[in-house]
Amino acid sequence: MATGASHYRFSILGLLAQHPLSGYDLKRVLNGLSWLIGSPSFGSLYPALHALQAEGLVAVETRLREGKPPRKIYSITEEGTAALEHWLDEPGAPQASLKGFVMRLLLAGVLEPEALTRHLVQRQTLVAGQLARLHEEMEHDAGQQLATAYQIAMARSELEWIQETLANLSAGKSLTEEA
C-alpha cells in the first residue's frame, strides 16, 4: 500500500478512535487537515471507509432521523484499534515524511509515552541530518540561497521544538509547557 494511502487510512481510524463519525463529519474534519493529508473527496473517503469495513477495522450503524435521510455512523472496531495502535507504535521509515510524523503527533493520545519519545528522537535524528546536509549544499545562486536559508531556519525551529517536547516528556510536564 502506498504511504499516502496508509496515512489516509490511519487518519480515518485515528479520528474514529476519538469518537464515531458520519462520512460527512469525517470529510469535514479531514478537510481541516488538508494542509497535512491533502483535500479528500467523498470519492476517496467512502471507498476507504468501505475497505476498512470489509477488513473488519470499522463498523457502521445506520441511524434513522425524522424527516431526513438515514445517517451512517462509522466507529472503530477492536481490530481497528489494534491496527491503529500497531501503526502508531511501529517506527517510521528512516526518511519518514513530515506528514506521517505530524499524523502520529495528531494521534498522540493513542500513543504510549515511550512510543512518542521514540518517534520524536527518530525525527530529531532525521532533521539533524537534513540540517547538516543543507549547510554542506549551500548554493551560490541567490534564489537557491534564500530557499536553503529558509529550510535551515525551519529545521532549526523543528529541532528546538523537539528538544523542548522531549524535555517536557522526561520531566513529566504537559507537552505544551516550556521546558
pLDDT at 113: 80
* Amino acid identity for residue 176 in this structure: T
Closest CA to 73 of 59, 57, 55, 84: 59
**Which residues lie closer than 8 Å to 158 by C-beta, 6 or more apart?**
123, 127
Domain parsing of the chain, residue ranges: 1-91, 112-179
- Give phi and psi for 99, each to the nearest 5: -60, -45
pLDDT band at 175 (very low <50, low <70, confident <90, very high): low
Tell me what the mean pLDDT of segment 63-74 comes to: 93
**Residue corresponding to grid cell 500500500:** 1
Q: Model-level pTM?
A: 0.69
Q: Does domain 1-91 match CATH 1.10.10.10?
A: yes
Per-residue pLDDT for 7 more than 80?
A: no
| Model pLDDT for residues 12-61, shown as the tens digit of each residue | 998 899 899 999 999 988 888 777 667 677 788 899 999 999 999 999 99
pLDDT at 87: 84
pLDDT at 91: 66
Q: How large is the greatest C-alpha to C-alpha distance in the chain, in angstroms?
A: 67
Whole-angstrom CA distances from 101 to 67, 79, 96, 129 are: 43, 23, 7, 16
| Model pLDDT for residues 119-169, shown as the tens digit of each residue | 899 899 999 998 988 888 776 677 788 888 898 999 999 999 999 999 988
